[in-house]
């Protein structure tokens, strides 16, 4: 709400200033840049490979749990009390390990995603600063806080193209 109020004030002040006729405002769809840029696609591949590796470990733990549950089901009636209690304790331990592995995976994925997206954000901001300086944009907004803006103010595709080109040049 404060962002919208702040934007309204900025635009209102600009509208009344002598330079209002020259005020250039653009916007970008940051989600589109992240999802369609080469750097964003690479980040998603990295996250997918981390998730797949963690899921393989979690699936191994699930198999251990299933195997132990089958043993308890099939042999539960014939096992002596001490062995049965030990297997039940093992089952509880495996379940706790499984839950911890899932939490750790989720936390690691969130952390890695935040780091990878933060790098993209910084790179896009540098590119936007350059575009703003070269082309005289006073404001470049992210689509998230905009109720309406004319489609010709959308810079997303152009920024995406330049961002991909700059990513290729950095790799060389």
Domains in the chain: boundaries: 14-171
Residue 55: predicted pLDDT: 97
Residue 77: predicted pLDDT: 77
Residue 81: predicted pLDDT: 87
Residue 139: predicted pLDDT: 87
Neighbours of 27 (CB within 10 A): 20
* CA nearest to 138, candidates 10, 5, 2: 10
Q: Which residues of the chain have pLDDT under 50?
A: 18
Angle at 151 between CA 125 and CA 4, to 5 degrees: 60
The sign of the CA dihedral 106, 120, 115, 7 is negative
């Amino acid at each position: 709400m404060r962002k919208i109020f702040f934007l309204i004030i900025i635009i209102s002040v600009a509208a009344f200033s002598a330079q209002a006729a020259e005020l250039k405002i653009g916007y970008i769809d940051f989600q589109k840049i992240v999802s369609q840029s080469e750097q964003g696609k690479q980040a998603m591949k990295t996250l997918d490979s981390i998730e797949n590796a963690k899921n393989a470990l979690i699936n191994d733990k699930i198999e251990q749990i299933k195997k132990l549950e089958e043993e308890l089901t099939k042999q539960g009636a014939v096992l002596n009390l001490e062995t049965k209690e030990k297997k039940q304790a093992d089952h509880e331990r495996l379940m706790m390990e499984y839950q911890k592995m899932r939490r750790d995976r989720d936390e690691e994925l969130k952390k890695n995603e935040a780091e990878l997206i933060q790098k993209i954000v910084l790179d896009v901001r540098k590119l936007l600063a350059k575009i703003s300086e070269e082309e005289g944009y006073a404001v470049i907004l992210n689509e998230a806080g905009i109720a309406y803006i004319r489609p010709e103010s959308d810079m997303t595709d152009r920024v995406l193209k330049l961002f991909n080109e700059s990513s290729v040049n950095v790799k060389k």
